[in-house]
Amino acid sequence: MKLKNSQSNFLIPEKFYDSVSKDGIGVVYSLLGILAISFAGCANPYSQNYQSLLHRPQTGSFLMQTSIALKPKIVTSTNMEADSLSMLENGYLLIGRAAFRSPPIDETQAIDHAQKVGAEIVLTKKEYVNTVTESVPITEWLPDQQTTVTEMSTFQTSPTAAPSIARRQITQTVQGEAYIQYVPQNVEYYNYSATFWKKIKPMKFGVFVQQLDNETKKRLQTNRGVIVKAVVRKTPAFNADILNGDIIVLFNNEPIADPEDFFAKIKANAGQEVTVKIIRDGTTRDITLTLIAAIQ
């Protein structure tokens, strides 16, 4: 994933475990399911089709606040799932998204919208859909047209003088005008998608989790526990070698009912040393780590 300095998984803080499967990596697959046709003209299609995710409770309290407005960076993606996971692991929050179908556009318009919503990185993807032959209006200008008319008349200076001929030229100008003609033209259409990200504050534990799926429940013969979907770098969980896919079943020897219970235990033990029991590849193990103290 390459950052362009020119302009850009469900990355949800621990509080938002419910949004993990909806607003992150899972969202990437569904973005194109809400395509909207962009409006013509100079309006920014990323702004027109933007869906904010800041309505989620307490989202703002998890975002890093910076006094200096940094220019957003744009990241061009060929794999939104993998790149969204990378954003998650680097500690960014998904604050909004946009998706639409359009002929080729200037993708740096995503930068303009990112500045408006306070995003630091924009993850964009462009996929070819088809080519359509359309009647495209072309405006042309008819230039001014001038015509010159010569008028002739006869006159006599005296009754006995021979007639004389007088000539006068008159130039008339017809003002030019614009006219529109429609010509067939092949127009390529693309699906554009973008996700907008902002850095979050340090996480006390450092993982994003989701509830056990039905298959895992049957395999473990339990409804309790959480699956680690991503581990944020430079957090207690990362340093303790907790991995994506680990299943956490105990927290200080207490069963974990669900994600809400898991994060409640994290909050209650902020700043303390804790032990979690995980299942990895069918083998259980205990991992001890010290949580980051609660952020004031």
Q: Kindly indicate the confidence band of residue 125, based on its pLDDT and cuts at 50, 70 and 90.
A: very high
Residue 66 pLDDT = 65
The strand order across the sheet containing 3-4 reads: 3-4, 73-76, 121-142, 177-199, 92-102, 50-52
Count CB neighbours of 275 within 10 A. Answer: 12
* 179 vs 283: CA distance, rounded Å: 76
In the chain, DSSP assigns E strands to: 3-4, 50-52, 73-76, 92-102, 121-142, 145-155, 164-174, 177-199, 207-211, 226-231, 247-251, 254-255, 273-280, 283-290
Residue 143 pLDDT = 85
Instruction: Annotate 265-280 with DSSP letters as a single string.
Output: HHHHTTTSEEEEEEEE
> Which of 67-71, 113-117, 138-142, 273-277 is least confident?
67-71
Residues of the chain with CATH 2.30.42.10: 207-290
Amino acid, single-letter form, for residue 255:
P
Tell me the sheet residues that pair with 277: 250, 286
* CATH code given to domain 207-290: 2.30.42.10
Query: 42-60 pLDDT, tens per residue?
Result: 699 999 999 998 886 556 6
- CB-CB contact of 203 with 139 (8 Å): no
- CB-CB contact of 242 with 228 (8 Å): yes
pTM of the model: 0.68
Residue 296 or residue 30, greater confidence = 296
Q: Kindly indicate the confidence band of residue 166, based on its pLDDT and cuts at 50, 70 and 90.
A: confident
Give the C-alpha distances (Å, rounded to integers) separating 106 from 63, 91, 103, 124: 29, 28, 10, 12
Give residue for tokens 């130039």: 171
Count CB neighbours of 35 within 10 A. Answer: 16
pLDDT of residue 10 exceeding 70: no
Residue 141 or residue 213, greater confidence = 213
Give mean pLDDT, residues 96-102.
Answer: 96
Q: What is the mean pLDDT of the chain?
A: 83
* 255 vs 249: CA distance, rounded Å: 6
* 34 vs 193: CA distance, rounded Å: 10
Give mean pLDDT, residues 66-71.
Answer: 68
pLDDT of residue 21 exceeding 70: no
* 193 vs 36: CA distance, rounded Å: 11
Residue 116 pLDDT = 93
Give mean pLDDT, residues 245-271.
Answer: 95
- CB-CB contact of 228 with 244 (8 Å): yes
Looking at residue 257, the DSSP 8-state letter turns out to be -
